[in-house]
Amino acid sequence: MRRISSFVVLLCGFSSALAGLAPCVELNDGNKMPIVALGTGRGTASESASVDEVRQAVYWAIEAGYRHVDTAAIYFDEPEVGQGIRDAINNNLVTREELFVTTKLWGDKHREQDVVPALKESLQKLGLDYVDLYLIHFPVAVKEDGSYDDVDYLETWRGMEKARALGLTRSIGVSNFNASQVDRIIANSRVWPAVNEIEVNPTLTQEALVTHCLELGIAVMGFSPFGFVVSRNNPNAPPPRADDPVLVHLSNKYHKAPTQIILRYLIDRGIVVIPKSVNKKRIEQNIDLFDFSLNDEEVKLINGFNKNHRVIDFADLKDYPNFPYGEY
Ligand SMILES: NC(=O)c1ccc[n+]([C@@H]2O[C@H](COP(=O)([O-])OP(=O)(O)OC[C@H]3O[C@@H](n4cnc5c(N)ncnc54)[C@H](OP(=O)(O)O)[C@@H]3O)[C@@H](O)[C@H]2O)c1
Ligand SMILES: *[C@@H]1O[C@H](CO)[C@@H](O)[C@H](O)[C@H]1NC(C)=O
Q: Model confidence over 48-90: pLDDT tens digits?
A: 567 789 999 999 999 999 999 999 999 999 999 999 999 999 9
So what's the pLDDT on residue 231?
85
Residue of 75, 134, 153, 265 marked active site:
75
Pick from 54, 60, 277 the residue to mutate for probing ligand 1's pocket: most ligand atoms within 8 Å of its CB.
Answer: 277
Compute the distance from residue 177 Cα to the ligand 2 centre, in Å.
9
Smallest CA-to-CA distance from 217 within 28, 23, 15 is with: 28
Q: Return the bridge partners of 175, or none.
A: 197
Please give the Cα distance from 230 to 232 (Å, whole number).
6
> Are the C-beta atoms of 218 and 194 separated by less than 8 Å?
yes
Is 319 contained in some domain?
A: no
Query: For residue range 298-319, what is the model confidence (pLDDT) as tens digits?
Result: 999 999 999 999 999 999 999 9
Pick from 151, 154, 180, 318 the residue to mutate for probing ligand 2's pocket: most ligand atoms within 8 Å of its CB.
Answer: 180
Is 326 contained in some domain?
A: no
- Check whether 45 has a pLDDT greater than 60: no
Q: How confident is the model at residue 44 (pLDDT cuts 50, 70, 90)?
A: very low
- Check whether 47 has a pLDDT greater than 90: no
Compute the distance from residue 155 Cα to the ligand 1 centre, in Å.
31
Query: For residue range 253-271, what is the model confidence (pLDDT) as tens digits?
Result: 999 999 999 999 999 999 9
- Check whether 9 has a pLDDT greater than 80: no
In terms of residue numbers, what domain contains 226?
Answer: 2-313
Query: For residue range 162-203, what is the model confidence (pLDDT) as tens digits?
Result: 999 999 999 999 999 999 999 999 999 999 999 999 999 999
Is 320 contained in some domain?
A: no
> In degrees to the nearest 10, what's the CA dihedral of 61, 125, 53, 264?
-40
Query: For residue range 220-235, what is the model confidence (pLDDT) as tens digits?
Result: 999 999 999 998 888 8
309 is in an annotated binding site: no
The residue-averaged pLDDT of 123-152 equals 97
- Name all residues whose Cβ lies below 6 A of ligand 1: 39-41, 44-45, 47, 70, 137, 175-176, 197, 223-226, 230, 257, 259, 274-279, 282, 285-286, 311-312
Compute the distance from residue 206 Cα to the ligand 1 centre, in Å.
18
Is 227 contained in some domain?
A: yes
User: Which ligand 1 atom is the nearest neighbour of the CA of 227?
Assistant: 20
The total number of structural domains in the chain stands at 1
> Are the C-beta atoms of 262 and 229 separated by less than 8 Å?
yes
Segment holding 56, helix H or strand E? helix 51-63
Q: What percent of the chain has pLDDT over 90?
A: 87
User: Which ligand 1 atom is the nearest neighbour of the CA of 53?
Assistant: 39
Q: Is-catalytic flag, 75?
A: yes
Q: Which ligand is nearest to the CA of 321?
A: 2
Rounded alpha-carbon distances, angstroms, from residue 20 to 37, 82, 196, 288 = 11, 19, 23, 11
Compute the distance from residue 275 Cα to the ligand 1 centre, in Å.
5
**DSSP assignment string, 249-278:** HHHHHHT--HHHHHHHHHHHTTEEE--B--
Mean pLDDT, the chain, rounded, equals 93
Query: For residue range 95-125, what is the model confidence (pLDDT) as tens digits?
Result: 999 999 999 999 999 999 999 999 999 999 9
Is 202 contained in some domain?
A: yes
- The whole-model pTM stands at 0.96
So what's the pLDDT on residue 2?
45
So what's the pLDDT on residue 8?
67
The residue-averaged pLDDT of 12-26 equals 76
Please give the Cα distance from 124 to 147 (Å, whole number).
27
Is 321 contained in some domain?
A: no
CATH number of the domain bearing residue 176: 3.20.20.100
Is 328 contained in some domain?
A: no
Is 188 contained in some domain?
A: yes
Please give the Cα distance from 91 to 295 (Å, whole number).
40
Q: Which of 19-23, 88-92, 97-101, 248-252 has the lowest mean pLDDT?
A: 19-23
> In degrees to the nearest 10, what's the CA dihedral of 236, 307, 41, 216?
180
The residue-averaged pLDDT of 145-173 equals 97
Rounded alpha-carbon distances, angstroms, from residue 306 to 71, 234, 315, 327 = 27, 17, 20, 15
